[in-house]
Amino acid sequence: MKVLLTGLQGQLGQALAASVPAGVELIATGRDQLDLGDAAACRRAVAEHRPDWVLNAGAYTAVDRAETEPELAMAVNGGAPAAFAEALQDCGGRLLQVSTDFVFDGAQGFPYQTDQPINPLGVYGASKAEGERAALALPGTRVLRTSWVYGPVGRNFCLTMLALHARRAEAGEELAVVADQVGCPTATHTLAQACWRALAAPDSTPRILHWSDAGAASWYDFAMAIGELGVSQGLLQQAAAMRPITTADYPTPARRPSYSLLACEASRRSLDLPACHWRTALAEVLRQVAATRSPA
């Protein structure tokens, strides 16, 4: 199976490249090799490589900046999937489009099923929703929605909180984190496994899948666990004192869903993958971070 991967330099792309299953010929592209904002370049990449699958893990993910860069966000998140789908029609390949919980508005207060209507709140969510729509126009496409992605590399909430815990604890300052937005953290190593399994799944597998780690958390819960487990992994001497705040206390340019938990049970059965609780996955990510920071 030949797979054209986008987003190699991102945190998910690195996890995917590090976990390639046997029998997969991987053509990995990052921004230097393939500009996802260039639809013509996306079509050329498919025509050149003629992959069995395009695994589109690359994305414009700057949620707040998207509010002032809507054209770029839409070109990358909406235009690239459309270009891949168009080109794949000619060569007979398929597309796995990685999407987001931000396509939902968070108003219902209980987990979102794969077949529920979407209603994004901001530009980022709208651009990812357009990418889903364009991708699903191609027969055989699969969309895999996920949430709160983080890993041991790149820029993400986990690594930011580790640094803030260290800085605030040393200064004797509190760390204030939003506690009224609920979803589920998803580690890149479990998400990568789900992506590879989605490519190998039978044709009867649903076209839209949900994948996050198990359980539920607020950003405050997640930050608290990062501090606790960071201490136990030797990454922090001590965690900072924490204070929960509301979304209103921490205004951002982009509105975020207050509840974006994805219902993943059916997708886990379809992919034949067990659930991993988010705290267990977090502990593994922090073990990886600690290993990279240990003296050789």
Residues with catalytic roles: 124
Sign, Cα dihedral of 94, 98, 101, 104 = negative
Q: Which of 93, 88, 94, 16 is nearest to 57 (CA)?
A: 16
Cα(201)–Cα(55) distance, rounded to whole angstroms?
14
Q: Which helix (H) or strand (E) holds 182?
A: strand 182-183
**Residues 47 and 87: beta-carbon distance below 8 Å:** yes
| CB within 8 Å of 252: residues ≥ 6 apart | 63, 64
**Residues 29 and 51: beta-carbon distance below 8 Å:** no
Cα(208)–Cα(145) distance, rounded to whole angstroms?
8
- What pairs with residue 6 in β-bridges? 56
Cα(290)–Cα(157) distance, rounded to whole angstroms?
17
